[in-house]
Structure 1
Amino acid sequence: MTKSVLNLKMVAPLAAAIICVNAAAQESPEKQGELMETIEVTAQAANARSDIERQRASNKVVAVQTSEAIGELPDANVTEALQRMSGVFIARDQGEGRFVGVRGIDPNLNASTINGMNLPAPETDSRAVALDVIPSDLLASLEVFKTLTPDMSADSIGGAIEIKSINALEHDGQTYKVSVENGYSELQGENSPKIAGTYTNQFELGERRLGVAIAASHHERNFGSENIETDGVWEEFTALDGSEGITAAEIEERDYTVTRERTGLAANFDLEISEGSQLYLHTLYSDFSDTEERQRNSYKLDEENDDPDTISGSSVTWSDAALEKELKDRYEEQEILSVVAGGTHDLDTWGVEYALGFSHAEESEPFRRDTTFVQEGLELGYTRAGKTPKMFAADASATDAGSYELDELVVEDNYTDDEELSFRIDIRRDLEVAGNPSELKFGVHERRREKTGDLNATVYDGFGGDFTLADFALTGVEYGLGNFGPGVNKGALNTFINQNLGNFEIDETSTALDSARDYVMNEDISAFYVMNDIDFGRASLAYGVRYEATDFSAEGYRVAESGAPIPGSEELAEDVYAAAVAYERNYHNLFPSVNVKYDYSENVVLRAAYTESLSRPSFGDLNPSPEAIEYDEGELEVEAGNPALDPYEARNYDVSFEYYADSLGMFSLGAFHKQIDNFVVTADVASSADYSLYVGSLAVEEAEIFQPINGDQATLTGAEMTWTRGFDNGFLLRANATFTDSEADLGLGTDAGRSNRISLPSQADLVANFIVGYERDALSLRLSTAYKGERLLEVDLEDEAFDLYEDQHMQMDLSARYRFENGVQVFFNGVNLTDEPFYANRRGFNGQYEEYGPAYVLGVTYSTF
């Protein structure tokens, strides 16, 4: 499966690009001298110094990374750029960073803004924004605020992430940058081209100055992954032969092939009317699409028997089991548009800032097809459990495509929309307090947000004939985690579906249950704040209070599969009823905060802060419409939201020591403590649930009902260390580590079958980065390692031994650059060099294991700055 890294397919397009750019970039000696000065300004040491100086000047605890520093590392998007910063970790999808967590805390508990305005989330269920939709080429800087001041939104327990796009007034005259690259996935043997460009210029309009900045990027990434995961939990079984042990009832083998495209465009206009007075219009558009093909084997071990035939610590055998082969053929597109218009004006001792913002995010999933073929009555099992179960089928027919019957086709058309209109005005007044300069600041912030989901699924179970997998078979599925057997040929199957879809028989019951998931959620936030910032010379104090009023409403459907109508419902299909439901919640919060900074000496800065904040539950957790309802002969399985959830509320304490060396060097050590009320955890609430909400009058013998609930209280305590050191020989070392420990109370009472004490869900106990840089003359090298510790993903209310944990993850990346005097740079990046997999487990048994393989990038950049 291993492929040659630098093959001709990868190098050829870039070789031509390098020759063309180099030829076009020949300049005069004077121009080359100017470029050499630019190289010195943007070298690794200068970038590190710039980040450090901005951190030191802030009145809050913050981590900063400028666009130049981002460009030194092999990070394709905002999420992956953020992972290098102190206290930041990322959650990955298909090996690529998508969501961002701060100080080990769940990504849903952070706020993300771009140019000062909140970003909406295109995903159906998430409040966290998948920042991988924003290419890193469009950035001016990234800032992660770990303490808040009253002029910032309070919806952040982990951290507040501020993304700033490029501003032409911050550059000298006309500048431009063009980058061409090609990536190569070792696992898939596929190429991934990318092109990006940035242009800035300034125009004199009389006494006014207009800055225009435009950035564009397009990246097509072809890659994939190999996966094996357990659907459900591992639990104690007694086999038919009397043997006892732990096993799972369903295990899946998955092979993914993905084409992921990102297109980003930023257009920013900044007009300097006079000194201290500016107007601006900042826009950003991002388009993200995934074309995903997933081949899946589902070992339905308990299809007919409730217990296995035999069981041991490392193997199990089930008779009368089923093996399903499924193809998921999905195209998903996400779009984000952010438009912010505003101004800043210094009016002697007064100042005013204002901004009107509109942001729109949407996700569409048109004509998604999930097609299942099944063979029953097989003897199935595994001969190895643990991290990667080794599956087996005793029957020779398991490898015969003709033995699998076409069982089901599900066609989905899903659409999610998230819009926010916001306005803010901030007024400041210069004052003196006991002879010390001071700034009084107050303002009003208004946010109006609406998130809607239009989810539609049609389930077909009759196809006008006896079709088998042999009619659509695909041989040679490359799968390194086992013997995959025949797969599904996407082209042949789609031809069949497109020609015959109108003649297929619809499963009315399943279609009605799967489609009644639409929702509309509105969230209006009105805020007012007042704060005072006093400069005592060596010390500064920023304190104040923020008030936020939240009006939340949700509309959806109560859906039940029932033998009799439920009150106020309409019948969607035979024995399927839906009733419209609506929820409203209003709550008000005051958030005091104090940030103290003390320059103990020229080299030492001390900080302390107390802040209060909240995080509203994710939209998926608040959704009033159930995600899934399955009922079969007395067995009920439900996944549902809970619109009655309370928001997380936190009291946050921070102290830090920062040492800044006279030469390039910095060391900081900080501690923080968070007291969190109403944390949210997803749990099986079947023991206390009302089954009639989902099945009406039908009898239920066994039930699993997974729903988010509020826990009682949680605490999180941590320490944070950051170190940067530059050397005269060209080496630059940067390291950071965040250690956290948390304890949460589920609030289950003394009669619970398990301990009430857990770690805070999604909290990583250690997040760390170590970067070795080297720069000498025109050569620049960066070797970086990112580490994320174990974290709790899912709670089993029956037995804590089967809680689901994500294993520790450590990824190593390399970036190498060579700069020519004419502004050309050639670079090589290596990503995930050690082939680090994703692994989640229950008591050491497989939850999910996924491999991605290393990837390599070769490219060229031409820049005038």
Structure 2
Amino acid sequence: MKLMHIKNYLFVTLFLVFGFATAQAQTGNIQGTISDENGIYVSGANIFIETLNKGTISDFDGRFTLVGVPEGTYTLQITYIGYGNVDQEVSVASGETASVVVELMPTNYQLDEVEVAAQGLSGQAKALNTQRTNLNITNVVSTDQIGKFPDANIGDAVKRIPGITMQVDQGEARNVIVRGLSPQLNSVTLNGSRIPSAEADNRNIQMDLIPSDMIQTIEVNKAVTPDMDGDALGGSVNLVTRTAPQGFRLSATLGSGINFITDKRNLNASFLVGDRTKDGKFGWMLGAVIQDNDFGSDNIEAEWTDEFAFTNAEGEEEELEVNPYTNVAEQRTYLVQRVRRSFSANFDYQFDANNSIYLKTMYNWRDDRENRYVLAQEILDAEDIGSDDFTITNGIPTRFPAEIARETKGGIDNNRNQNARLEDQRMQNYTLGGNHLWGNVKVDWFTSYAKASEERLDERYAQFATEYTVINDNSDPEFPIMTAANPGDANNLSAFEFDEITNETQYTDKMTSIFLSMLKFLRTFLEKEMGP
């Protein structure tokens, strides 16, 4: 019975589709692309036919479609912020699709003693046009705007958008927070395809996996629309990779520096090349990025309390009310090597004005090697503190016995770990899609496969411990410190006894795959009546 219903539904749908297309046989369509002076596609451009009061806007690939256009010759009026207006003549034949390629040029405005040039605005102009023409609350940033800042990964670039903050790891932005909502309540997509998390215990997307050089546009949707996943309460971040240009394009960067904490060099290199065949049908874009950053950090971590307990002469536990003081203090040193690699290959093929397909791929791989050294000092429990073992000055404990621990975090000595804790995170995404126009019906489809993984091989923690009396100095609340009452205790490493060691191996991978097909009656949903 259910099979019969499905067959009937398919028959009715196909009947409506072809019937609707046939009904428009006395009209034609216009489909085209819009690019800038560098051959880069632009989105958010207005395309308008004044005589028909019919118009639309270009998408992220610079494509636009106008359907149901009567036979004849018309003038397309293309307007775009920061660029000169273009009037393009096009002839439409019944039952056919006219193809148009438009190139926009930046404009210069001569004022009294002031010259305003569009060169600096050209990149962000694309983003502003897209932001202006989107239906929901959106912020869009282009690759040219990203390049003005020294952001190594895409997380550092996203945090510059209004309403966005990031959770930071070792100085690099990692997890996105939209409008104050935690990272697990937001979603991240790559070319509209969902990216899985590489970590096992959460759904946070590691934004520092992707170098900023690999992304063409960042689109932050702060109001989720019906065509998006419904699990993003805060918002959705869509990363658009670079597409094939209209002509040959080559870009390369190389940079280096020194980190003054580790006195080691940093290396950054990127390579981008793309072109399109002379007939304009086949386009390709290849990109590769490597970033090798050897850095470190020193920090102090402390816990505060207003309670103090000890054992009195009668052997009973006694509690005292004191002013807040640090009962735990840790001095930490981190030595980190972060190697980030990314590879991208994007292709598209235009069969004719009505049919095209594309393939977008990206592979990101980050090795994060870390050695952590900790000197941890914590006040002993009440039963281990006698009435003569401590000193309280002005209501603050300034001397007391503490447990001292020296901890190390590292790994085994091999070619991969290199005697450090290795966090191997990878993310890959492959998307195959197409755009087809049948009369007044447009079919957009794509299928994608994405995988994220994290591997930690032989992660080792070791701890040695002892006890001695410390001097607690809280005179500077921002930098509290505990020091040995007898300096010789801190330097006597033989007094530290082996406490514990752990060795752990972890592996996590997550995969997502999707096939999505959208059937659009363009006359109803896509066309907008707008002014020139």
> Would the alpha carbon gap of residues 243 and 429 (structure 1) be closer, same or farther in structure 2, given more than 3 Å must change?
closer
Which residue of 235, 239, 251 maps to 1:163? 239
Distance in structure 1 (CA, Å) of the matches to 2:166 and 2:394: 34
Which amino acid in the other structure matches residue 505 of structure 2?
A: D
Matches within 5 A, 1:718-729: none
Give per-residue Cα distances to partners, 1:670-696, cap 9 Å, x unaligned. Answer: xxxxxxxxxxxxxxxxxxxxxxxxxxx
Instruction: Say whether residues 1:279 and 2:357 are aligned partners.
Output: yes
Instruction: Say whether residues 1:322 and 2:403 are aligned partners.
Output: yes
Matches within 5 A, 1:95-174: 95-168=171-244, 171-174=245-248
Question: Counterpart in 2 of 1:197?
Answer: 271
Give per-residue Cα distances to partners, 1:439-467, cap 9 Å, x unaligned. Answer: 1xxxxxxxxxxxxxxxxxxxxxxxxxxxx
Distance in structure 1 (CA, Å) of the matches to 2:307 and 2:476: 14
> Would the alpha carbon gap of residues 124 and 227 (structure 1) be closer, same or farther in structure 2, given more than 3 Å must change?
farther
Distance in structure 2 (CA, Å) of the matches to 1:157 and 1:201: 40
Question: Counterpart in 2 of 1:185?
Answer: 259
Instruction: Say whether residues 1:237 and 2:289 are aligned partners.
Output: no
Instruction: Say whether residues 1:62 and 2:133 are aligned partners.
Output: no
Distance in structure 1 (CA, Å) of the matches to 2:106 and 2:257: 28
Gaps of 5+ in 1: 1-36, 432-437, 440-532, 539-601, 603-865
Distance in structure 2 (CA, Å) of the matches to 1:77 and 1:392: 39
Distance in structure 2 (CA, Å) of the matches to 1:165 and 1:42: 24
1:50 is displaced (CA, Å) by: 2.4
> Would the alpha carbon gap of residues 117 and 99 (structure 1) be closer, same or farther in structure 2, given more than 3 Å must change?
same
Matches within 5 A, 1:277-676: 277-303=355-381, 305=383, 309-311=390-392, 315-317=396-398, 319-329=400-410, 330-379=421-470, 381-384=472-475, 386-395=477-486, 396-431=488-523, 438-439=524-525, 535=528, 537=530
1:135 is displaced (CA, Å) by: 0.5
Report the aligned-residue RMSD: 2.6
SS at match of 1:338: strand
Which amino acid in the other structure matches residue 199 of structure 1?
A: V
Which amino acid in the other structure matches residue 58 of structure 1?
A: N
1:120 is displaced (CA, Å) by: 0.8
1:536 is displaced (CA, Å) by: 5.6
1:251 is displaced (CA, Å) by: 2.1
> Would the alpha carbon gap of residues 228 and 305 (structure 1) be closer, same or farther in structure 2, given more than 3 Å must change?
farther
Distance in structure 1 (CA, Å) of the matches to 2:492 and 2:216: 56
> Would the alpha carbon gap of residues 342 and 272 (structure 1) be closer, same or farther in structure 2, given more than 3 Å must change?
same
Distance in structure 1 (CA, Å) of the matches to 2:334 and 2:440: 61
Question: Counterpart in 1 of 2:341?
Answer: 263
Give per-residue Cα distances to partners, 1:503-533, cap 9 Å, x unaligned. Answer: xxxxxxxxxxxxxxxxxxxxxxxxxxxxxx6
Check the 8 A contact 2:302/2:480 in 1, yes or no.
no
Check the 8 A contact 2:322/2:395 in 1, yes or no.
no
> Would the alpha carbon gap of residues 126 and 338 (structure 1) be closer, same or farther in structure 2, given more than 3 Å must change?
same
> Would the alpha carbon gap of residues 267 and 380 (structure 1) be closer, same or farther in structure 2, given more than 3 Å must change?
same
Q: Choose 1 or 2 for highest CA Rg.
A: 2
1:318 is displaced (CA, Å) by: 5.6
User: How much identity, in percent, do the aligned residues show?
Assistant: 27
Distance in structure 2 (CA, Å) of the matches to 1:366 and 1:94: 21
Which amino acid in the other structure matches residue 331 of structure 1?
A: L
Which amino acid in the other structure matches residue 283 of structure 2?
A: G
1:109 is displaced (CA, Å) by: 1.6
Question: Counterpart in 1 of 2:102?
Answer: none
Check the 8 A contact 2:308/2:320 in 1, yes or no.
no
1:367 is displaced (CA, Å) by: 1.1
1:111 is displaced (CA, Å) by: 0.8
SS at match of 1:381: strand
Distance in structure 2 (CA, Å) of the matches to 1:314 and 1:91: 37
SS at match of 2:131: helix
Which amino acid in the other structure matches residue 323 of structure 1?
A: I
Check the 8 A contact 2:324/2:396 in 1, yes or no.
no
Distance in structure 1 (CA, Å) of the matches to 2:350 and 2:395: 71
1:340 is displaced (CA, Å) by: 0.9
Give per-residue Cα distances to partners, 1:578-627, cap 9 Å, x unaligned. Answer: xxxxxxxxxxxxxxxxxxxxxxxx9xxxxxxxxxxxxxxxxxxxxxxxxx
> Would the alpha carbon gap of residues 354 and 235 (structure 1) be closer, same or farther in structure 2, given more than 3 Å must change?
farther
1:283 is displaced (CA, Å) by: 0.7
Distance in structure 2 (CA, Å) of the matches to 1:137 and 1:386: 41
> Would the alpha carbon gap of residues 93 and 42 (structure 1) be closer, same or farther in structure 2, given more than 3 Å must change?
farther
Distance in structure 2 (CA, Å) of the matches to 1:39 and 1:98: 39
